[in-house]
Amino acid sequence: MSAQKVVMVTGGTGLVGKGIEAYIQQQGDARKDEQWVYLRSADGDLRSLEQTQAIFRKYKPTHVIHLAARVGGLFSNMKYKVEFFRENIAINDNILACCHEFKVVKCVSCLSTCIFPDKTTYPIDETMVHNGPPHFSNEGYAYAKRMIDVLSRAYNAQHGCKFTTVIPTNIYGPHDNYHLADSHVIPGLIHKTYNAMKDNTDLVIYGTGKPLRQFVYSLDLAKLFVWVLDKYEELDPIILSVDEADEVSIADVAHTIAEAMNFQGKIVFDTSKADGQFKKTASNKKLRSLYPDLTFTPMKEAVKVSAQWFIDNYATARK
Ligand code: NAP
Ligand code: GFB
């Protein structure tokens, strides 16, 4: 009798982890022979090798989806480059070392489209991760993330480990981090719109609103993560993103959020605040070639669900 499949999701209580949990629950009996474990930092601080080893001894995972990270938007990344580098280097080194030590069959780790070179041609594809320095605003996080790709391939070359990586674009959805200073743009603007409606004030968008982004809904991404765990056999990274044609401006996103929340007030742009990277247009050609019937939730619908989740869970949401 083969050992039971135990899938451990690090960072299991975050935006992406909660999306995966919801998707696996929907799968019901199809996955009745698998045990899924969703870690939170209370289970152990993954910056500590000893605490990480204790977690692996306790759960004995056969597969790992590695999401845990210090995560934040543009402004948090600009402010805390040292912590974004050090915490993520420590977490990533410990997870891959334990996946090797405890003979994990497969580990899928998470990079980000913001780690690609700032000076590049478009669309960006998976072969370009190390072709030049990332945008200065998030170089701490970006270099720590790039090292997951390097170390995963080193473990394979030296020990035959099946460690691979995915590269999601900007993600949003229920259970996001809505902290006004540290969050990503969509949860940040949802929280700001909530406050503007409550206090009858303007909705202030940072920057010019001109930068372009591709956004993927966490519940769509969850399905892709599980597909990578089940079916993706390559060691090279794979971009998990909506199409290039789905790229929108920050101003477009602000209006979509205002419409979803029925905000009737004034939208203003504070151009004294940074714009960050102008664009990081990524190609999902490789994903579409391997996953032909790929579909995504329409952004207006997904933003409405995300905003409603925040309103319904205001008391307990991360903010
Ligand atoms: P998130 O909502 O902030 O969740 C982060 C998770 O990591 C939480 O469960 C947190 O646990 C855990 N964690 C953080 N530090 C930890 C530590 N020292 N020890 C143990 N656990 C720790 O992040 P997310 O948006 O879901 O991101 C998941 C992955 O996607 C990350 O690797 C991130 O880099 C990547 N990604 C995110 C985006 C995006 O737009 N959000 C885009 C591209 C890639 P607690 O909550 O219990 O503290
Ligand atoms: O999601 P975000 O913070 O990060 O988006 P990035 C920043 C863009 O949204 C900038 C504008 O153009 C901001 O000027 N923006 C407007 C706002 N209003 C707001 C607001 O209230 N909050 C925020 N946060 N932005 C991140 C990387 O870059 O991408 C991370 O720094 C991560 O490391 C993430 O990988 C996926 O898309 O610019």
pLDDT at 46 (0 to 100)? 98
Measured between alpha carbons, how far is 238 from 107 in angstroms, rounded to an integer? 14
Within-domain flag for 87: yes
pLDDT at 285 (0 to 100)? 98
How far, in Å, from the CA of 227 to the mean position of ligand 1?
Answer: 20
Model confidence pLDDT, tens digit, residues 7-22: 999 999 999 999 999 9
pLDDT at 1 over 70: no
Instruction: Report, as an integer, the average pLDDT of 32-49.
Output: 97
Model confidence pLDDT, tens digit, residues 196-249: 999 999 999 999 999 999 999 999 999 999 999 999 999 999 999 999 999 999
Q: Name the pLDDT band for 79 (thresholds 50, 70, 90).
A: very high
Cβ atoms 105, 62 nearer than 8 A:
yes
Question: What is the pTM (predicted TM-score) of this model?
Answer: 0.98
Check pocket membership of 213 for ligand 2, CB cut-off 6 A.
yes
Within-domain flag for 136: yes
Domain range for 18 is: 5-173+214-244+281-297
pLDDT at 143 (0 to 100)? 98
Q: Residues of 58-92 as b/e, b for ≥16 C-beta within 10 angstroms?
A: ebebbbbbbbbbbbbbbbbbbebbeebbebbbbbb
How far, in Å, from the CA of 68 to the mean position of ligand 1?
Answer: 4
Within-domain flag for 192: no
The bound ligand whose nearest atom lies closest to the alpha carbon of 218 is: 1
Measured between alpha carbons, how far is 209 from 211 in angstroms, rounded to an integer? 6
pLDDT at 86 over 70: yes
Q: If you average pLDDT over every residue of the chain, what do you get?
A: 97
pLDDT at 149 (0 to 100)? 98
Instruction: Report, as an integer, the average pLDDT of 77-85.
Output: 98
User: Judging by DSSP bridges, how do beta strands 34-38 and 5-10 pair with one another?
Assistant: parallel
How far, in Å, from the CA of 11 to the mean position of ligand 1?
Answer: 5
Q: Give residues with Cβ within 8 angstroms of 228, minimum separation 6.
A: 108, 164, 166, 238, 240
pLDDT at 184 over 80: yes
How far, in Å, from the CA of 219 to the mean position of ligand 1?
Answer: 15
Within-domain flag for 249: no
Within-domain flag for 289: yes
- In eight-state DSSP terms, residue 107 is E
Strand partners of residue 66: 10, 109
Within-domain flag for 204: no
Check pocket membership of 177 for ligand 1, CB cut-off 6 A.
yes
The total number of structural domains that make up the chain? 1
Looking up tokens 């406050």 gives: 195
**Phi-psi map region of 295: left, alpha, beta (phi>0 left; psi -120 to 50 alpha):** beta
The domain that holds 25 is classified in CATH as 3.40.50.720
Nearest to 225 by CA among 242, 240, 244: 240
Within-domain flag for 312: no
In the chain, the percentage of residues whose pLDDT exceeds 70 is: 99
pLDDT at 25 (0 to 100)? 97
> Of the listed 23, 38, 141, 172, which one is catalytic?
141
pLDDT at 284 over 90: yes
Check pocket membership of 169 for ligand 2, CB cut-off 6 A.
no
Q: Name the pLDDT band for 27 (thresholds 50, 70, 90).
A: very high
Tell me which of 83, 169, 185 to substitute to probe ligand 2's pocket, judged by most ligand atoms within 8 Å of the beta carbon.
185
pLDDT at 2 over 80: no
Cβ atoms 168, 215 nearer than 8 A:
no
In the chain, the percentage of residues whose pLDDT exceeds 90 is: 99
Strand partners of residue 167: 239
pLDDT at 299 (0 to 100)? 98
Model confidence pLDDT, tens digit, residues 128-140: 999 999 999 999 9
Check pocket membership of 51 for ligand 1, CB cut-off 6 A.
no
Check pocket membership of 184 for ligand 2, CB cut-off 6 A.
yes
Within-domain flag for 263: no
* Annotated catalytic residue 206: no
Instruction: Report, as an integer, the average pLDDT of 175-183.
Output: 98
pLDDT at 313 over 60: yes
Looking up tokens 């997904």 gives: 302
